[in-house]
Structure 1
Amino acid sequence: MSVQALAGVIFYVCITGLQNTVGESIAFGKNAKQSTTYRENDASHALNRTFSYTGSVTGPVISPWWEVDLRGYFRISIITLTAGKFYINMRNASVEVMDKDVSLCSDVQSEWCGNVSSTATAREEFTFTCNATFPVRFVRVTRRSTNYTYLAIGHVDVQGIGATKRYRSHYTPTANGKVSIPFLTTSAVTAGACGILCHKSHSCIDFSYSTTASTEANCMLTDKVVPQNSSGHNHWTMYTLASCL
């Protein structure tokens, strides 16, 4: 079967968490986005302690939100939000966890974790215990309002361990693409077999497969969210995990 014919391949597998992440934020380096962005205060800044004082800031909208895709499924233990210099705009924000992307999916499971105090001050930390009974992939912070307002977050820390979940997973293929920083280069008979290897390694988030590369190095797995290399790789296809499943 050709790689092109595998564009709609769906894998049914069981993921088992292999790595205990307590002590290290499982959100660091993952994909963050927000409703809008104010100046240079990008959503990703809330995941990097270097920017913990300025953090991420949305533009003024009704009920602004911030979200991180953990690119895998986890049992969340605690989530800690730290207020930055724009602490007023983190007051009363709510924290929740979800199994799917609420902007794409209609059957999302969600669990409310808690609210930030209405008297939050700069550098104050708020720690929430989440009791979701389902494996979590997304963490969302929302400042619900009926008028235009900002949401500012100094830093977000998410603690948890890899979850076991039987689920349907679809990878979106991109022709001529190759992961930039593979943590494992191995062999696979088909792109589907390469995808199963990605699933079995809990840290894997995307993979690339080639029909012409050496049979010992035709499957590459990555755990890094970085720009993917799409030039000069005519016989490679990159597969990215879809969000709504």
Structure 2
Amino acid sequence: MSLHVLASLVFCLSVSRLKYTHGESIAFGKLAKQSSTYIANRRYYYLAYPASQAINPVYWMTGSYTNYGNPSWWEVDLRGYYSISNITLTAAYNGWHTYMANAYVEVMDKDISLCSDVKVEWCGNVSSTVASGEKFNFTCNATFPIRFVRVTRRTTGNNYLGIGQVDVQGVGATKRYRSYYTPTTNRKVSIPSLTTSAVTAGQCGILCHQNHSCIDFSYSKTASTDANCLLSNKEVPQNSVANNAWTMYTLNNCL
């Protein structure tokens, strides 16, 4: 899909319906979920539209799609803390573009399904009419580091939420320095984003804090001193394997 140049300024908390050029989305490859997932019953097979498709450019024509609900929502965990410059929603091209109408965008520092003290910043609303493939650009004014981006659609009754693509632009932000990790013995992350060294598990945790994309880490007393601290920005426990020499530390989402 071709990208176009943004031809006008976008005011804070406003929506631009113009196309523009930008860098790679920081949401790409991260953990996305939604209130429910629509599964189409074809004649010979079933076709699902999971939340992950809205951040994967391969599915730019169809994206993600929920079942009936109120509210219906979509969310991505950026697996790190960021200062967000803008968020772009693109409507689907498969005839479901109308199911993004009146959806609104918010950013949060914590998992709203788990935590009671979440900081939330409202970024703006999609218009009541949406064309196929139309882009809506939002600029957020959050003064705190962002980890979650959520799109919500509320109606007077049950309805769907369909999103072609979600693009998030931003840079890494400094996290609060707190070390509330849940340890799991005899496991380690299998796909580290950084392999480094640390004298203690606490020092490995400090290195994780200093790396804005790090969410979880693993430490071993007996591994090579050059590679005994593994930092990860990917989903755990899916990104983990059994290993008796290691302990895996998973970040508490309510920090």
TM-score by length of 2: 0.82
Q: 1:208 to 1:98 in 2, by over 3 A?
A: same
AA of the residue aligned to 1:36: S
1:105 to 107, 112, 115: 115
Counterpart residue number, 1:26: 26
Q: How does 1:1-245 map to 2 (within 5 A)?
A: 23-39=23-39, 40-84=48-92, 85=94, 86-225=96-235, 227-231=238-242, 233-245=243-255
Give the match's secondary structure for 2:188: coil
Gaps of 5+ in 1: 1-21
Give the match's secondary structure for 1:108: coil
Compute the RMSD of aligned alpha carbons. Answer: 1.6
2:49 and 2:172 map into 1 onto residues whose CA distance is: 30
Following superposition, the deviation at residue 82 of structure 1 comes to 0.4
Following superposition, the deviation at residue 34 of structure 1 comes to 0.7
AA of the residue aligned to 1:60: Y
Following superposition, the deviation at residue 165 of structure 1 comes to 3.9
What percentage of residue pairs aligned between the two structures are identical?
Answer: 68
AA of the residue aligned to 1:212: T
1:168 and 1:121 map into 2 onto residues whose CA distance is: 45
Name segments (4+ residues, structure 1) moved above 4 Å. Answer: none
Gaps of 5+ in 2: 1-21, 40-47
Give the match's secondary structure for 2:184: strand
The structure showing larger relative contact order (alpha-carbon pairs under 8 Å, at least 6 residues apart) is 1
AA of the residue aligned to 1:43: A
TM-score by length of 1: 0.85
Q: 1:128 to 1:56 in 2, by over 3 A?
A: same
Note if contact 1:63-1:146 (Cα within 8 Å) is conserved in structure 2: no
Following superposition, the deviation at residue 228 of structure 1 comes to 1.9
